[in-house]
Structure 1
Amino acid sequence: MDGRSMTGETSVSLDAVDHAILSVLQADGRLGVTEIGRRINLSQPAVSARIKRLEQSGVITGYRAVVDPTRLGLSIHAVVRLRTTHARIPASLDHFAQLPEIVSIYRLTGEDCFLLDVHAASAERLEAIVDSVARFGPVTTSLVLRTYQTKPMEPGRPQRP
């Protein structure tokens, strides 16, 4: 294996300290480098240099606030699967970009082409979104009953049998 992913990008070699930094940042991206260093027993300049390298190599792609959609009045959470044709994929993507309720778009293999993560204020708004997406092909909509906490990424750690 040459370290290239399916997209052709080269993977980055990470050591245990890099993994520790990533783990701390995924738990709390607002921590300062001094506190990160204290938690993993590394100096502030060393932590700063490693974080900069992780950012420049594309391992760390950004920092963001995690927002509770229900607190914003978006009480309906659904996943919408769309089956379309290859010719309609660009138009579909353009349409998705116009709908702020679609917060994640996944291109899929198999029968469905896209999985959309949708947060809407009402059932009527979800209906309008589903109807607008359905012009590109058959859709299947599922309401999300509960979201469980996601796990932080731990790439590059081989699993033991």
Structure 2
Amino acid sequence: MIIEGELDRIGRSILATLQREGRIPFSELGRRVGLSAPSVAERVRRMEDLGLITGYRATVDRERLGWRLTAFMRVTCPGDKYQAVRRLALDLPEVIDCHHVTGEDCFFLKIAVSSVDHLEQVIDRFRAFGRTVSSVALSTTVEDKPPAVPERRNR
């Protein structure tokens, strides 16, 4: 299972499978990795307890919900505005991701909106705290790709 912080081959297989198929029954997962359902359930519980698995969620098609455009926004603001930008990012349903970054910019956000007018409204909210630069995604090649499960933890 987990020895000195490392996953064994079966643990890596369980984790990789759960990232692709979060609703797979333990009986089927056990069949694939060669363990009983109770053994798989115990391993998954340990991964949850150790914080390797932090939750389960449904993947939703934003476009079908009316969020037709995906945009990215860089925000540059004075240090005394950081918390205000963070609060706004948490409060706005349009913000999918918000990262505090190094370099010239302070924040990098991924935003989903229904239209260009809607995007402009969101940009204006952030512009109150500093400079913004936005780009609209034309297409998406990779999205929500699960992280690889390494054989050895990077140290």
Q: In structure 2, how many angstroms separate the alpha carbons of the residues matched to 1:61 and 1:141?
A: 31
In 2 relative to 1, CA 12–147 (structure 1 residues): closer, same or farther, beyond 3 Å?
Answer: farther
2:147 matches 1:153:
yes
Q: Does 1:72 align with 2:72?
A: no
Could you tell me how far apart the structure 2 residues matched to 1:111 and 1:147 are?
Answer: 25
Highest RCO, 1 vs 2 (Cα 8 Å, sep ≥ 6): 2
Kindly state the Cα deviation for residue 152 of structure 1 after the two structures are TM-superposed.
2.5
Cα deviation digits, residues 101-145 of structure 1 (max 9, x gap): 101111111111111110001111100000111111111101111
Partner of residue 26 from structure 1, selected from 7, 19, 29 = 19
> What is the identity, as a one-letter code, of the residue corresponding to 2:130?
G
- In terms of mean alpha carbon deviation, does 145-154 or 76-85 score higher? 145-154
User: Is the 2:71–2:136 contact (alpha carbons within 8 Å) kept by the matching residues of 1?
Assistant: yes
Alignment RMSD (CA, Å): 1.7
Q: Partners of 1:12 and 1:143 in 2: how far apart? A: 41
Partner of 2:30: 37
C-alpha distance after superposition, 1:19-39 (max 9, x if no partner): 101111111101111111111
| Structure (1 or 2) with the greater strand fraction | 2
Maintained 8 Å contact 1:12/1:57: no
1: distance between equivalents of 2:109 and 2:24? 31
- Normalising by structure 1, what TM-score? 0.86
CA contact (8 A) 1:103 1:118 kept: yes
Check 1:145–1:158 CA distance in 2 against 1; reply closer, same or farther (3 A cut).
farther
- In 2, Cα distance between equivalents of 1:129 and 1:115: 14
Instruction: Report the Cα distance in structure 1 between the residues aligned to 2:137 and 2:123, rounded to whole angstroms.
Output: 15
The 3-state SS of whatever aligns with 2:63 is helix
Amino acid of the residue matched to residue 130 of structure 1? Answer: I
Q: Secondary structure, in 3 states, of the residue corresponding to 1:60?
A: coil
Gaps in structure 1 of 5+ consecutive residues: 1-10
CA distance in structure 1 between the partners assigned to 2:78 and 2:12 by the alignment: 40
Structure 1 CA distance for aligned equivalents of residues 86 and 57 of structure 2:
23
Shift, 1:158, TM fit:
4.9
- Note the C-alpha offset of 1:147: 1.6
* TM-score, normalising length: structure 2: 0.89
Match in the other structure for 2:43 = 50
In 1: Cα distance, 2:45 partner to 2:142 partner: 28
Gaps of 5+ in 2: none
Percent identical: 37
- Residue 134 of structure 1: which of 113, 127, 130 is its match? 127
